[in-house]
Amino acid sequence: MRGLVRREPESAVVRWNPFREMEQFRREMDDLFGRFFDWRPTLTTPTELEFTPALDVYETPDEFVVFVTAPGVSEKDLHVELSNGTLTVSGERKALIEGDQVQAHYVSRMGGYGKFSVAYTLPTAIDENRVKAVYRNGVLEVRLPKAESAKPKAVKVEFEK
């Protein structure tokens, strides 16, 4: 089954995203209060925003593949660790402009800034010597091959005659 779909006035089909509509509603309310009370939204400084990257986990018969979406995170600020069957990805997403004299007037970039850590406990044993990680275009891909003992094995059944 596909996600909810909504028709736009120009008859274009667009996947419905409730968060986009909530953001539009917030902007309209800010505009309304701004016109009536000359009120502006309270600014949130980048240090008050939290960033949590998205984590996707896939399983094949031979391996687990984990994708961590961390746009704006430098490769040097990204750390990957596998310990006791748990994959942990941690790092820090820094503000685009930093400094004592920098004042943010409006920040709408999704996700915020700061240190983060996401973890996933793998359900089977992993061959730790063959783990590979690649980071490109803001997406970390970690390939975790299953240990031979964790792979499914076919057993031939013999029938008595």
Write down the pLDDT at residue 115. 87
Instruction: Evaluate whether 78 touches 92 at the Cβ level (below 8 Å).
Output: no
Q: Is 144 exposed, middle or buried (0-12, 13-18, 19+ CB in 10 A)?
A: buried
Q: Name the most confidently modeled range: 21-25, 35-39, 54-58.
A: 54-58
Q: Give the pLDDT of residue 1.
A: 47
Instruction: Give the residue-averaged pLDDT of 57-61.
Output: 93
Contact yes or no for 87/55 (Cβ under 8 A) = no
Report pLDDT digits (tens) over 89-139.
999 988 777 788 887 776 666 667 788 888 899 988 999 999 999 999 999
What is the residue-averaged pLDDT of the chain? 79
How many other CB atoms are there within 10 angstroms of residue 77's CB atom? Answer: 15
Contact 68, 120 (CB under 8 A): no
The CATH T-level fold of domain 46-150 is Immunoglobulin-like (2.60.40)
Among 42, 65, 46, which residue's Cα sits nearest to residue 55?
65
Q: How far lies 9's CA from each of 6, 14, 54, 65, 141, in Å?
A: 10, 11, 32, 40, 39
| pLDDT on residue 72 | 85
pLDDT digits (tens, 9 = 90+) for 63-92: 999 999 988 898 999 999 999 889 999 999
Calculate mean pLDDT across residues 23-36.
73
End-to-end CA distance of the chain: 48
Q: Please say if the pLDDT value at position 156 is more than 70.
A: yes
**Out of 33-47, 54-68, 139-153, least confident range:** 33-47
